[in-house]
Structure 1
Amino acid sequence: MPGQTDHAGMAALSICEALLLAINDHKLLPEREIAGVLRDAAAAHENAAGNATEMEMHQSVASLINGIMVGINPTGRP
């Protein structure tokens, strides 16, 4: 989301990403479960309906989530 100015949303995203990384690092959930949570969240946005502006926002959100998944699982394993 270029030009994102929603500070609360950015903070929430950073916190969630940090929590997922900590859950992964401390082996509290298997990597495949964390990847599944992220896949489900991305799919919800990829399949969302709306006008052109809303669709662009949903696709952008899905891309961000998929980027987080790569950061948590750099090998690309499902």
Structure 2
Amino acid sequence: MATAQPSFRRIVDEIAERIRTGDLKPGDKLPSTSQLADMYDVSTGTVYRALSLLHDRNLIIGQSGRGTYVAEHPGR
């Protein structure tokens, strides 16, 4: 029996796919942490975990006090 995918992994996969397909382009601002939590019906901690993984993959960058954006060269 397959186990359900963790919520943070679903968020990572969906945002990464949107970047890959060009739906989210370099420089695009992502919704706030609380907006993403509402969109995915998860806690802000789950969103932070997903964003951390996306950052580790060089897909997004955070600008303190300004928000989180798609990296200029995603994945590099």
Taking structure 2 as the reference length, the TM-score comes to 0.44
Higher strand share: 2
Question: More helix per residue: 1 or 2?
Answer: 1
**Higher-Rg member (1/2):** 1
